[in-house]
A = this chain, B = another copy of it.
Amino acid sequence: MPKTEHWHWYVEEFAPSEQHHHAVDEVYYSGRSPFQQIAVLRSPVFGKMLVIDGDTQSAQADERIYHEALAHPALAGARERRRVLILGGGEGATLREVLRCPDVEQCTMVDIDALVVDLSKQFLPEWSAGAFDDPRARVVVGDALEYMGSTTERYGVIISDLTEPLEDSPSHPLFNERVFELIKSRLVDGGIYVLQASTGAAINAALHCKMARTLRRHYSHVASFVTHVPAFDTEWAFLACSDGADLAQLEAATIDRYCARLKGESFFYDGVTHRRLFALPLFLRRMLAAGGDTF
């Protein structure tokens, strides 16, 4: 045909004036759960993609970057990692990474949207890679706050894969004192709370810095770390919060010992990558050091 090959596109809008257009080869699912609009697509460059409310959640070509960054620095630096709690993370890939660590005896994942979990099992089995069937995995479909309020368990590491608190996002009300205290109450002493924490590029790091400023009121160590995730089209930032461990100061030897014991091969993370993650560019260190408002 004398026509473009691509006529079906997924458009991610970052700002009213900035869009990324991905051609779509196949639509596995497109619909709505009680909580959000969900699509499972396939693009020529990124492979299968999970899209929620118009935002790319993860993509086959690079989800390991995001999920290894979310799980391993915290686990590597944790004194106690027998019990791990994941807030959100319905695709099962954070669970997969956590369970690669043989010290983990139990990993509980709480996601509110059963449809995301089901679609991920059906269309994105590479994400969980069997993790849902691991006897150490406990999957709870429900509200993360309610779950934490109802349990008395304490965790060495709590990993939050919830969406960031944008002005009118459902996560906005979750970013407050009460919630922070609830989360901290479920950590063992000196445990680590790690969360995905919005974008971290020079042009869009303001929300991340506000999140960091807020959490510094609650933890003695709040370390930002940042990596490029191609499918997110930008640098992605994370926060590691603890009264016991400063992940930015973790020694290479400690990380290498941790990594050597992981089941399977890593794609992204090791001691050198850890150094990259935590060695922030000058402008971002300046922004984080400057004052500003908090949640």
Mark A residues whose CB is within 8 Å of B: 1-24, 26-27, 30-31, 39, 43-46, 51, 53-55, 61-62, 65, 166-169, 201-204, 227-228, 230, 233-235, 266-270, 272-273, 275-276, 279-283, 285
Contact = CB atoms under 8 A, between A and B. Distances in A.
Contact of A282 (B21, B268, B280): B268
Of the candidates A16, A53, A167, A204, the one having the most CB atoms from chain B within 10 angstroms of its own CB is A16
Given A1-B53, A273-B281, A17 B45 contact: yes
A286 to B, nearest CB: 9
So how many copies of this chain end up in the complex? 4
A43 to B, nearest CB: 6
Contacts of A169: 1
A125 B228 CA distance: 30
A41 to B, nearest CB: 9
Contact of A227 (B45, B51, B281): B281
Nearest to A26: B30
Given A65-B281, A169-B1, A203-B46, A10 B7 contact: yes
B9 A9 contact: yes
Contact of A268 (B26, B279, B283): B283
A130 B283 CA distance: 23
Of the candidates A24, A61, A62, A276, the one having the most CB atoms from chain B within 10 angstroms of its own CB is A276
A9 to B, nearest CB: 5
A204 B201 CA distance: 19
